[in-house]
Amino acid sequence: MADAVWLLFLETSIDQFLEDVYIPLDCEFLVAQRSGEGAVQLTEVYRMDKELPLQRQHFGTWDQNGLHVSRESLIRRRSNFHNYTITGTSFNVSTN
């Protein structure tokens, strides 16, 4: 789905820093923040639409024991559309 993974190291609030930033659903964007005892927490962030709130979920931890990340696919991690309505259409094309 996504061609690249973006990683941002933050010392401030995720919501405050990314307040006006649109991170589309198909973009893999991780925020790294220090947590207690030298560990780094990785949070995945995106927006369902430009006007909707930032969605975030824990993606993994990086500590003295190594990197521990979610094994779920991007599609499974983003399976909750948070009541967002997706408009679509379909039609049959005859090959005869």
Q: What's the pLDDT tens digit per position in 19-72?
A: 999 998 888 999 999 987 789 999 999 998 888 899 999 999 999 999 999 998
> For the chain, how many structural domains are there in total?
1
Q: Could you list the residue range(s) of the whole structural domain that residue 34 is in?
A: 5-77
Backbone angles phi, psi at 37, to 5 degrees: 60, 35
Is 87 inside any structural domain?
no
pLDDT of 3 reads 62
User: Please, are residues 31 and 41 in contact by the beta-carbon 8 Å criterion?
Assistant: no
Q: How confident is the model at residue 5 (pLDDT cuts 50, 70, 90)?
A: confident
Is 93 inside any structural domain?
no
Three-state secondary-structure class, residue 42: strand
Is 90 inside any structural domain?
no
- Residue of 79 and 64 predicted with greater confidence: 64
Is 94 inside any structural domain?
no
Radius of gyration of the chain (CA): 17
What's this model's pTM, rounded to 2 decimal places?
0.74
90 vs 29: CA distance, rounded Å: 31
Is 10 inside any structural domain?
yes
Pairing of strands 28-34, 5-9: parallel
Is 28 inside any structural domain?
yes
